[in-house]
Structure 1
Amino acid sequence: MSVSSLDAKAPTALESESQNSFYRDGKFHNESNTTVKFEWSSILNYAKEVFKHRNIETEPKGNIPVQPLLTENILSTADDSIWRIGHSTLLIKMSGKLILLDPVFSERASPFQFIGPKRFHQPPITIEALPLIDAVVISHNHYDHLDKHSIQKLSDKVKHFIVPLGNRNDLIAWGVDDHKVTEMDWWQEFHINEITLVSTPSQHFSGRGINDKDKTLWSSYVIKSPDSRVFFSGDTGYFKGFKDIGEKYGPFDLTLIETGAYNPNWAAIHMLPEQSLQAHLDLKGQRMMPIHNGTFNLALHSWKDPFEQITKLAENHQVELLTPEMGAPLTIKGNEKTTHWWVNL
């Protein structure tokens, strides 16, 4: 189902929410019951884990390698390509169009810039140096994916913002022009010339404060051009929806799969590494890039653990894994090899 193009008007949030089969009682829901219970026993167990893992290396000791990303290199790239900016922020070029995923350029993934998870590294390019962006795509409204300061700086150099249902008003309040923002329900499509963006299900939750839990939708995305297909997971637990997406839109040349900030207690909403790999297989992916790692400390495991775990799993299952340095260029259907750059940090 097509929701909009650059020239069409999207349905209002109220119209779309009322049609969403997982929207009831003023909140969005996952396809299956995935409530993470915060009972006293689970809080106590988590406190014990914090104490047990107090000596885990949650931040790198050395400098994470970052390759400067130059504007002229972005513009001159002819093939469908991708650059990792950090965490879940990626820049994609398809059919000559530029798409920016979950842009977080701020120093901290937090509502405040004086407290909260701080970046391990600077972005390989500044917002000011970015060329004109055809679309910014947002997976959900958590602070490490929807960053107010980045959206405000990007507002004048982005043609369109694609967001899940319920997120439109925040962007408009932050200064984005009303006509630039399109809300999408699961399975709806948005077209930019030859490129199709599909909002697909994920298994997560939303909220930026204490009173807005699940008031807005969360999504993954299919991004396809005549030459290549990419899947972007956003944040999600493992669920049967990956197989559905793989059957409908696969195979994918590249999957961008959440692999980081996990804990067995959160597995319903944040995949463990073995689940991330299985999601890639369900999606019929050719190459896999683990994301949601390497930029912020958001969990109790070592900052290297996502890379080390998924590397072993990929080798065991003969999956081609891409772990590029931040800012390094990759062609989506290329044969580039990447290094284990984190080993000596």
Structure 2
Amino acid sequence: MSTACSHRPTYQSAQFRDGQFHNVAPPKQPGGWRLVKLWWQFMFKDSSRTEPPEALTVTPLTRTQLNQAPDGSIYRLGHSTVLMKLNGKFWMTDPVFSERASPVQWAGPKRFMPTPISLEDLPPLAAVILSHDHFDHLDRDTVVKLAAKTSVFLAPLGVGDHLIGWGIPAEKTQQLDWWQTVEVEGIQFTATPAQHFSGRSLFEKNPTLWASWVIYTGTHRVFFSGDTGYFDGFAEIGRRHGPFDLTLLEAGAYDKQWAGVHMLPEQVMQAHRDLGGDWLLPIHNATFDLAFHSWDEPMEKMLALSAQQGVHLTMPRIGEPVRLGRYQAAQPWWRLKQSRPASTAVTTSPAT
């Protein structure tokens, strides 16, 4: 809960002090001149490996297909945007439909592929679930356009204030601290800890909270990580709310230099085990160029690690359905015929 002050809001939260939000333990991440150097390297890096040489194709979706889809269908729409059909209604995480994950649309990381469905063709949403305020997770244009067809926006503390400032009615926004639970249309949503940071400018330092989410339908438990480094909180979430039928864990845009706030592939596997996860669906990859690794490395590493460690892994094409309780094992859809260069596109058929 926020209260007015002379400069910026204050929040009644154990995570909020000294005018900003804090992690349970300070994560290792670059700062100062190291951060400036990283930004410089990123801006002028060779993108021939970090971007596919041509646009990736997707499995197209229509509103009719979604309305006719069985309950428990889950669609990854790109990056960390996931559309879920649960208990007969639709729910979406971190919606980003803009061409670029950036404060402006003339510069910044550009999508590798279009979204499989337009904003206009989406069905009404019972809720949009937000993890934090970074541009690749909180897209102002998308959120504003979704407001008319979304019943409620669920957000960590402070993130909802962005929405209200953009004209979304306060009564359509619910802001939660870690471990708080709200029920919407019979489904329980619990904001749970994550290890990350926030801010939409270089001059802000953690003005809003970041969170992962537990989604409990009454029959299935789904975990959505948002962005996070690996930390002890996964085991605590698993003890309190696990085991999980499906974990949606970030696996992409990682680097050892910032592993404190974005997990490395091996850490993703450990987090899945800590949570008591059954099936794992990696997200936060194959959409934007946000790191130094090759664009397809996250999928290749997750596929190899799952085989080594015996983890149930599903990695659908963008727009292809995954169904709770009837999962399909991961297939390397991102690979191409031997006659074509690595990392180029493959043509997909419409979802059924």
Return the TM-score normalized by structure 1.
Answer: 0.92
Distance 2:201 2:191 in 1: 24
Match in the other structure for 2:175: 183
Match in the other structure for 2:143: 151
Q: 1:46 to 1:250 in 2, by over 3 A?
A: same
Render the CA deviation track for 1:245-266: whole Å, top value 9, x for unaligned: 1111111111000000011010
1:194 aligns with 2:186: yes
Match in the other structure for 2:31: 38
1:102 aligns with 2:130: no
Render the CA deviation track for 1:96-120: whole Å, top value 9, x for unaligned: 1211100000000000000000000
- Counterpart of 1:299 (choices 291, 302, 325) is 291
Match in the other structure for 1:58: 50
Distance 2:176 2:110 in 1: 31
- Counterpart of 2:213 (choices 218, 221, 240) is 221
38-47 or 206-215, larger mean C-alpha shift: 38-47
Counterpart amino acid of 1:202? A
Distance 2:179 2:3 in 1: 16
CA contact (8 A) 2:312 2:329 kept: no
1:313 aligns with 2:327: no
Match in the other structure for 1:113: 105
Counterpart amino acid of 2:96? V
* Superposed CA RMSD: 2.1
Q: 1:65 to 1:338 in 2, by over 3 A?
A: farther
Match in the other structure for 1:8: none
Render the CA deviation track for 1:308-344: whole Å, top value 9, x for unaligned: 1111111111011111011111112213234211112
Distance 1:98 1:284 in 2: 25
Q: 1:202 to 1:108 in 2, by over 3 A?
A: same
Render the CA deviation track for 1:282-311: whole Å, top value 9, x for unaligned: 111111011100100000110011011111
Structure 2 counterpart SS, 1:313: helix
5+ residue gaps, structure 1: 1-10
Return the TM-score normalized by structure 2.
Answer: 0.90
Q: 1:41 to 1:225 in 2, by over 3 A?
A: closer
> Residue 33 of structure 1: CA displacement?
1.3
Distance 2:278 2:37 in 1: 42
Counterpart amino acid of 1:236? T
Match in the other structure for 2:64: 72
Superposition map of 1:282-293 within 5 A: 282-293=274-285
Match in the other structure for 2:349: none
> Residue 47 of structure 1: CA displacement?
6.2
> Residue 170 of structure 1: CA displacement?
1.3
119-128 or 91-100, larger mean C-alpha shift: 91-100
5+ residue gaps, structure 2: 337-343, 345-352
Q: 1:282 to 1:156 in 2, by over 3 A?
A: same
- Counterpart of 1:325 (choices 307, 313, 317) is 317
Q: 1:46 to 1:182 in 2, by over 3 A?
A: closer
Match in the other structure for 2:152: 160
> Residue 174 of structure 1: CA displacement?
1.4
Counterpart amino acid of 1:140? H
Match in the other structure for 1:26: 19
CA contact (8 A) 2:57 2:114 kept: no
* Residues paired across the two proteins, number: 334
Counterpart amino acid of 2:307? E
Instruction: Give the % identical residues.
Output: 45
Distance 1:45 1:73 in 2: 43
